[in-house]
Amino acid sequence: MLRTFAQHPIALLAALLFAITPIRPAAADDLARAYLLPELFEIMAEEGLQSVMADGVTTLEGRALAQFQRDVAQIYQPAQMEADFTARLRAELEGQPEVVQDALDFANTDLGRKILRLEISARKALLDPEVDDIARMALVQARDARPESSVARRLDLVRARIEANDLIELNVSLGLNTSYAYYAGMMAEDAASDLSADQVLFLVWAQEPSIRLDVEDWSESYFLLAYAPLTEEELQTYIDYVSTPLGQAFNRALFQAFDTVFSDISKSVGRALGRRLNAEEL
C-alpha cells in the first residue's frame, strides 16, 4: 500500500485529506436523530437526578438541601448534556467518516431502528423501581435456568452482545472515573480537606468490586428486558454487526464521549455538594 501511494502522489494527497476531514455538523445531527439522543438524555438526566438525590446520599438538610437540589437540577439539563455529548462525539469521530456512515447505515435499517427504539423504551421503563425489580428478578431466573432452555440461550446471547463491545469493562471504567471526578469536585471546594489525592484514589478503587457487580447486574437485566421482543436470529445479527471493526470503533467513540461528559457532570455535582456543605458549617 505504501509503495502504491509513493507511486501516485495524488492518491496519497486524497487519502490524507480524507483522513483529516472533520465530521460535518450535519452528520453529527444525523447521528443524534438516528440514535435517539434527545430521548436518551432525557432519561439519563432523570437517572442522574434519582441517583444523586437518593436517600442517604448526602447529609444536607433544610435550606442547604433545597439549594443543592436546585444545583443538581441545573447540572442535569438534558439539552445541555446532549449538546456537550454531541460536541465530544464529533471530536472523537473526527477523521473517521467511514465509522459515522456505517453507524448511520445501521441505524437506518429496519432492524437498527427496532433495536434502538427497544433500548430507549427499556431504559425509560427502568426508571420505575418496580420495573427495575421485575427485570432483576427475571435475570435471577435466567441465571438459574437450565442451560438448554430458551431463557438460558437468551442470556447467553445478551452476554455475547455485552462482550462484543467490552461493555462491562467500559462501564466499570466510566464508574471509577466519575467517582474520582465527584471527589475531585468536592476537593476543589475544600470540602474534603481531610483527604489526600492518594486517599481519594484508594476510596475510588475500593468501590471497584461493587461497581463491577452493579454494572454486570444492570447490563444483563437491561438487555434481557430490551431485547425480549427480538428473535434469536435478529439478536445474533446485531451481535455480528457490533462485533465488526467499524461497529467497535463507533462504540469506543461513544464511550469516550460519555466518559468526558459524565466525568464533568460528576465533578460539578461534587463541587455543588462541597459548596453546600461549607455553607452549612458557617
- Per DSSP, the residues of 211-270 read HHHHHHHHHHHHHHHHTTTS-HHHHHHHHHHHTSHHHHHHHHHHHHHHHHHHHHHHHHHH
Residue 14 lies in a domain: no
Please tell me the distance from the alpha carbon of residue 239 to that of residue 256, in angstroms, as a whole number.
21
pLDDT given for residue 15 in this prediction: 34
The residue among 115, 254, 94 whose CA lies nearest residue 174 is 254
Q: Give pLDDT, residue 21.
A: 39
**Residue 19 domain-assigned (yes or no):** no
Q: Is residue 9 part of a domain?
A: no
Look at residue 54 in the predicted model and tell me its pLDDT. Answer: 83
C-alpha closest to that of 128 among 225, 59, 32, 214: 225
pLDDT per residue rounded down to tens, the chain (282 residues) = 333 333 333 333 333 333 333 455 556 678 999 999 999 999 999 999 999 988 666 778 888 889 999 999 999 999 999 999 999 999 999 999 999 999 999 999 999 999 999 999 999 999 999 999 999 999 999 999 999 999 999 999 999 999 999 999 999 999 999 999 999 999 999 887 788 888 999 999 999 999 999 999 999 999 999 999 999 999 999 999 999 999 999 999 999 999 999 999 999 999 999 998 887 655
Instruction: Flag whether 36 is in a domain.
Output: yes
pLDDT at position 3: 34
Q: What is the pLDDT of residue 56?
A: 63
- Does any domain span residue 264? yes
3-state SS class at 282: coil
Q: What is the pLDDT of residue 153?
A: 96
Q: How many CB atoms lie within 10 A of CB 231?
A: 9
Q: Would you say residue 143 lies in a domain?
A: yes
For residue 20, being part of any structural domain is answered with no
Within 8 A by CB and 6+ apart from 103, the residues are: 31, 34, 35, 246, 247, 250
Whether 17 is in a domain gets the answer no
Domain count along the chain: 1
Range of the domain at 229: 25-281
For residue 137, the model assigns a pLDDT of 97
